[in-house]
Amino acid sequence: MGKAFYYVARAIVKPLIWLLYGVNIKGKENLQYTGRMLIASNHTSMMDTLLIGCADRHQVHFMAKKELFSNKLGAWFFKSLGTFPVDRGKGDIAAVTAAGKILQENQTLVIFPEGTRNKERQWQLAEFKNGAALIALRNDAPILPVCIVEKPRLFHRTKVVIGEAICLADWTDDTLSRSENIRRISTRLRDTILNLRARQMTGRDRHENHSG
């Protein structure tokens, strides 16, 4: 029932989200992938999961804080949407194992490497945690970088940029240790998402960025 519920829910929600938030997807062609994929995005608001879930034709799976699963109804609802719990702030082995299982089954996993929503008023990108890089490397999964250019607001255009999938063989170095390669992937992934936004910035964005 889980997958059917997911696609029915998406069919209902997507037109509303696209209408209310004026969603504009750049790089749609990069969503035409097959096989396992780890999507890594910046995290601006609770809307991010809906934006990515509705944009991708595949069923996508998310990590969510364990508190959302504290009652039976909440647990059923979020699990039906392909979400699984994680104990934030701890090395949650169960969540890493669940994430790996999703990728090993050639499904799509979404991770926000910042670890939590970035609540700064001006657009910023926090330092990335290494979980996304670790999970991708451990499961030989390519990474699809996504940038939500501005925090979604009702009746304003919301631009989402989908980058090209990254093969980790291009980002790793055999002379480095595993932990060094994980840090290297995290750093390059953050730079890639920053570059996706930079290419979409308007003249007004640049002016505000320099004047601030």
Q: Would you state the pLDDT for residue 210?
A: 37
**pLDDT on residue 163:** 98
What is the mean pLDDT of the segment spanning 123-151? 95
SS3 72: helix
**2-200, which class in CATH?**
alpha beta
Residue 143, classed as helix, strand or coil, is: strand
Query: What's the CA gap between 194 and 149, in Å, rounded?
Result: 9
CA distance 124 to 116: 13
Q: What is the pTM of this model?
A: 0.89
In this prediction, residue 1 carries a pLDDT of 56
Pick from 95, 97, 111: nearest CA to 38: 111
- pLDDT by residue (tens digit) across 49-73? 999 999 999 999 998 888 889 999 8
> Is it the case that residue 207 has pLDDT exceeding 60?
no
What does pLDDT average to over the chain? 90
pLDDT in tens, 75-111: 888 888 889 988 866 667 888 999 999 999 999 999 9
Sheet with 60-65: strands ordered across: 23-26, 158-162, 143-148, 37-41, 108-111, 60-65, 83-86
2 or 101, greater pLDDT:
101
Residues in the chain, overall count:
212
Rounded mean pLDDT, 193-207: 73
Measured at the CA of 39, the angle between CA 34 and CA 43, to 5 degrees, comes to 155
Is the pLDDT at 209 greater than 50, yes or no? Answer: no
* Cα–Cα distance, 21 to 15 (Å, whole number): 10
Question: Which range (27-41, 78-92, 155-169) has the least confidence?
Answer: 78-92
Beta bridge partners, 167, equal none
Confidence of residue 114 (pLDDT cuts 50, 70, 90): very high
Out of 116-125, 142-151, 198-207, pick the least confident. Answer: 198-207
Boundaries of every domain in the chain: 2-200
Average pLDDT over residues 36-44: 97
Q: What is the 3-state secondary structure (H, E, C) of 100-120?
A: HHHHHCCCEEEECCCCCCCCC
- Residue found under tokens 């595949």: 58
What does the pLDDT read at residue 91?
61
How far is 134 from 152, CA to CA, in rounded Å?
29
